[in-house]
Amino acid sequence: MESIKQRLSVYEQRTVCRMATLLDPRFKKSGFQHSSNAEQAATCFENELANFPVKETASNQPVAPDSSLLDTLFDFLGERSMNKFVNSRVDAILTKKQYLERAIVGQDIDPLLWMKVNQTDFPAIGSLFAKYLCIPATSVESERTFSKAGQIISERRTRLKEKNINILLFLNRNSWLK
pTM: 0.60
In this structure, are 48 and 85 located in the same domain? yes
Beta strand spans in 37-81 (E) = none
For 158-177, the pLDDT digits (tens) are: 788 888 888 888 775 544 44
- What pLDDT does 104 receive? 92
Mark whether 121 and 52 lie in a shared domain.
Answer: yes
Residue 45, domain extent: 2-132
Contact 54, 44 (CB under 8 A): no
pLDDT at 5 over 60: yes
| Dihedral sign, Cα of residue 132, residue 11, residue 140, residue 163 | positive
Helix axes 123-132, 35-50, angle to 10 degrees: 120
36 and 122 inside one domain:
yes
Q: Is residue 37 domain-shared with residue 122, that is, in the same domain?
A: yes
Q: Same structural domain for residues 25 and 76?
A: yes
Closest among 32, 31, 18, 3 to 107, alpha carbons compared: 31
99-to-66, 95, 160 alpha-carbon distances in Å: 36, 6, 51
Residue 153's pLDDT band (cuts 50, 70, 90):
confident
φ/ψ (deg, to 5) at 128: -70, -35
Say what the pLDDT of residue 64 is.
53
Burial class (CB in 10 A: 0-12, 13-18, 19+), 21: buried
- The mean per-residue pLDDT over the stretch 93-107 comes to 92
Over residues 11-64, the pLDDT tens digits come to 888 888 889 989 999 999 988 888 999 999 999 999 999 987 755 444 455 555
